Amino acid sequence: MCQINTDPMKSQRGYLSVVVPPDILDYPTSTDMVVDEGANVTLQCIARGLPDPKVIWKREDGEKIDLQNNSQGTVYIYI
């Protein structure tokens, strides 16, 4: 609220949304992994911020990732 001390007092009220930049948590976010072809792997990327960050998975080569589940930043991939 902003206020000017006059007679009568004048004031104006406003609302502010505090935005917190995304932060990827070191734990339980996955680290580098090596897996055999044909194996399953579980990767996690846990981030916080305001508004809640959206985690998007993509490959360097642009090929499609066959996602089985992408809830809460966890993805299960069949390689």
Q: Which pLDDT score, from 0 to 100, does residue 26 have?
A: 85
Condensed to tens digits (0 to 9), the pLDDT of residues 9-68 reads: 888 888 878 899 989 888 888 888 888 888 888 888 888 998 888 887 777 888 877 666
- Residue 37 phi/psi, 5-degree rounding, is -60, 135
Structure tokens belonging to residue 72: 């809460």
Spell out the domain ranges in the chain: 19-79
Residues 6+ apart with CB under 8 A from 44: 28, 29, 30, 73, 74, 75
Q: Which pLDDT score, from 0 to 100, does residue 23 have?
A: 92
Whole-model pTM over 0.75: no
Condensed to tens digits (0 to 9), the pLDDT of residues 2-25 reads: 878 888 888 888 887 889 998 988
